[in-house]
Amino acid sequence: MHEIYASLLLHEAKQPITVENLTKVLQAVGITPEEGRLKALVASLEGQDIEELIKQATIVAAPVEEKKEEKKVEEEKKPEEAAAGQLTLLFGS
């Protein structure tokens, strides 16, 4: 993943995305790059429009937390049901 971030930094700085440049960026932040991964990344980005790839990237939304109010409504109904049940005992069905 670091390799991809480094390639985005190089792209933003309008520098060529090469194994050498990626190595320099990664080493500057203390990461020891794997040359095989860098070569694969450079090969996969060759001839690609990075701006277009960024636009096509899928953004995943964070999951929405369930509403807890619905449970409260159900809990509030239970005492009413219990009261109704007690009234039937008192007055018969």
Please state the domain extents for the chain. 2-56
Residue 66, pLDDT score? 72
> With contact defined as beta carbons under 8 Å apart, do 42 and 22 qualify?
yes
Q: Nearest CA to 50 among 21, 14, 83?
A: 14
pLDDT digits (tens, 9 = 90+) for 27-86: 999 999 999 999 999 999 999 999 888 888 877 677 777 766 656 655 565 666 666 666
Q: Which CATH number fits domain 2-56: 1.20.140.10, 1.10.10.1410, 1.10.10.10, 3.20.20.70?
A: 1.10.10.1410
Residue 62, pLDDT score? 73
CA distance linking residue 2 with residue 7, whole number of Å: 9
